[in-house]
Every structure is written in structure tokens, then in C-alpha cells.
């Protein structure tokens, strides 16, 4: 099921500074740019890829500072909390070479990932340009996408190096991404597994989709670095391949008629006319 959750911020601003615009309909009919996070988004969070990366970061931190595992993990969490990512903290406070960190952290076994034929077919049929926007390295993105059989389907990759080693949800990253590829945010959809990473894209005007695992619900998604409910989630899915396939098969590239959602804290389901079996669930959420 695809779910819609009305945001709390300015839903129509084409930039964070704009405020005097007319509301526009969130949907997919207008989308010309399709932006995908990598880890736990283009593949299921049930795989061990991100766990391997996280463990290698802990090993690296322990080695750099002569710490035991628990102390290294605590330092890792400190850097995440203060800087948004362990790498950023190591650069700012300890002068660690970012390329060394990224090469070590992403030296993992990707063999558990298999080519995703459904996802590949769905991405290939998306109209317009397609991008990977990751807080990891370009090399990791290329290797992982290749393992999934989708590396040939993207027009560009924007990694943490391109963002001066600042991770999402740093606002500067999104502006750099938009500038680099000449993207109009209001003609863009972004797919991400961490809800808070969708706040800025949503305020910029993008249609946003939270990708969760089958056992997760909106607001429960957490990572070592980013925790909390985001206001900027338009849709939610636990199966990206099926979600994208339904955009084609049910003609849901057409936006729903403008509808006023319920008060925050309530939830009501309403079918979107002309979109087959796809429904949008208006679900209130609070911070």
C-alpha cells in the first residue's frame, strides 16, 4: 500500500526561502527527475549490507584510537549525533582522510544481493532522468547498483564527496545536488529510507517517498545518526519495485484531486479516483 502523510511545513515552496507561492498538487504526473537513496532503499533493509558497513566503521574507530568495541561504538554515536555522520566528525575533530575511511567502510561482501528484475524494469520505465543520491561513496553506489543489475539505469550519482563530506540531511547537500544536475525540485520525486532526510526535499517542493522494511511503520524508522518523525513524507512503501510498477500499471502518475486531510493525529483512508487499487492514506503525525 502507498500512504500519504501531509507535511507540516510550506508544501509549495520551490526553495527554502520562498514563501509566496501557490499550492501545487503532490503526485507523480509532473515528475521529470527520480532521485533514489542507495542503502536500505534500492535494496531491502533486511540485507546485511548496512550492518557490515556500520561494523567496519566501528572497527576503524577502535583501531584509530586504540579503543575496545563498546567505547568505539560510543564514540561513533557521539560523532553521528554531533555531526550527522561518523566520517564528518573524524574529519573535523581528528583530521582523518575521508578517502581512507570510505574505502575501508565500504570494503564489504555484496554477494547476498541478487539482480532485482522487477526493480530494474520499473526504474527503466520511469520518464525523465534518474539519480542516486547517497551519503556513501560513488564507488560503493556503483558496486552495489551493479550487484542489483541496475547500475546502467542512472544518469548520475551524487555522493558524500560531492557534498564536501557533509551527510544528509544537511541542507547544503540538497542545494548542491539540485545545482549540480540542474534539477527543478517541483518536478522531482525522492525516495529515501530515513524519514528525516526527506524534510528538506519536501520543503523544496519534491514529492517524497519513504521506503521502509515490511516490519516498519512511518515514524519508527531510526538509524545510528538520525532518529525521529519527519514532517516531509508524502508516500510510504515497503516494496519499492512494486510501488514503481504500480505507478505505471495503475496510471498513478496522475495526481489525486486536491483533498484536505484530517487534523493531525487522525487517519482516514480515501481512494484516489482513476488509480485502480492504489489508495492514499491520510495519516497525521506529530513530532
The pLDDT of residue 1 is 40
Domain span at 85: 49-105
Confidence (pLDDT) at 213: 81
Residue 121 forms part of a structural domain: yes
Residue 110: inside a domain, yes or no? Answer: no
Q: Are 190 and 150 part of one and the same domain?
A: yes
**217 and 172 in one domain?**
yes
Count the Cβ atoms, other than its own, within 10 Å of residue 67: 16
pLDDT attached to residue 27? 87
Question: Average pLDDT of the chain?
Answer: 79
255 with 176, same domain: the answer is yes
Cβ contact 131:156 at 8 Å: yes
Whether residues 183 and 55 fall in one domain? no
Greater model confidence, 99 or 252: 99
Domain-ending residue, one of 82, 105, 128: 105
On whether residue 147 sits in a domain, the answer given is: yes
Q: Are residues 201 and 65 in the same domain?
A: no
86 plus 180 within the same structural domain: no
d(CA 86, CA 60): 11
- Dihedral sign (CA 269, 271, 275, 276): positive
Please indicate, yes or no, whether residues 258 and 271 belong to a single structural domain of this protein: yes
Strand positions, DSSP E, the chain: 3-4, 33-36, 129-133, 156-158, 188-192, 207-211, 235-237, 267-271, 279-283
Query: Has residue 210 got a pLDDT over 60?
Result: yes
Q: What is the pLDDT of residue 25?
A: 58
pLDDT grade for 26, boundaries at 50, 70 and 90:
confident
Q: Are residues 184 and 122 in the same domain?
A: yes
Q: Please give the tally of structural domains in the chain.
A: 2
Same domain? For 54 and 144 the reply is no
pLDDT tens for each residue of 231-251: 799 999 999 999 999 987 754
pTM over 0.85: no
Q: For 125-142, write each residue's pLDDT tens digit.
A: 999 999 999 999 999 999
Q: Report, in angstroms and rounded to the nearest whole number, the Rg of the chain calculated over CA atoms.
A: 19
What pairs with residue 33 in β-bridges? 129, 188
Amino acid at each position: 500500500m502507498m500512504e500519504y502523510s501531509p507535511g507540516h511545513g510550506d508544501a509549495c515552496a520551490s526553495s527554502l526561502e520562498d514563501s509566496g507561492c501557490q499550492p501545487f498538487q503532490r503526485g507523480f504526473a509532473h515528475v521529470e527527475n527520480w532521485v533514489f537513496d542507495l542503502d536500505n532503499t534500492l535494496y531491502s533493509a533486511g540485507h546485511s549490507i548496512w550492518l557490515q558497513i556500520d561494523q567496519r566503521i566501528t572497527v576503524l574507530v577502535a583501531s584509530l584510537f586504540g579503543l575496545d568495541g563498546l567505547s568505539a561504538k560510543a564514540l561513533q554515536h557521539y560523532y553521528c549525533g554531533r555531526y550527522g555522520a561518523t566520517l564528518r566528525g573524524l574529519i573535523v575533530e581528528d583530521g582523518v582522510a575521508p578517502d581512507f575511511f570510505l574505502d575501508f567502510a565500504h570494503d564489504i561482501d555484496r554477494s547476498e544481493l541478487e539482480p532485482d528484475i522487477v526493480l530494474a524494469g520499473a526504474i527503466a520505465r520511469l520518464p525523465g532522468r534518474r539519480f542516486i543520491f547517497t551519503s556513501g561513496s560513488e564507488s560503493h553506489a556503483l558496486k552495489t547498483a551493479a550487484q542489483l543489475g541496475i547500475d546502467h539505469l542512472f544518469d548520475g550519482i551524487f555522493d558524500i564527496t560531492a557534498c564536501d563530506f557533509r551527510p544528509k540531511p544537511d541542507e547544503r547537500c540538497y542545494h548542491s545536488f539540485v545545482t549540480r544536475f540542474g534539477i527543478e525540485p517541483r518536478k522531482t520525486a525522492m525516495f529515501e529510507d530515513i524519514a528525516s532526510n526527506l524534510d528538506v526535499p519536501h520543503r523544496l517542493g519534491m514529492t517524497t517517498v519513504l521506503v521502509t522494511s515490511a516490519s516498519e511503520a512511518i515514524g519508527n524508522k531510526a538509524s545510528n545518526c538520525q532518529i525521529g518523525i519527519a514532517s516531509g513524507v508524502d508516500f510510504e512503501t515497503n516494496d519499492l519495485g512494486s510501488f514503481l510498477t504500480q505507478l505505471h500499471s495503475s496510471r498513478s502518475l496522475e495526481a489525486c484531486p486536491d483533498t484536505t486531510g484530517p487534523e493531525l493525529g487522525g487517519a482516514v483512508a480515501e481512494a484516489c479516483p482513476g488509480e485502480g487499487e492504489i489508495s492514499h492514506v491520510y495519516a497525521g503525525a506529530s513530532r
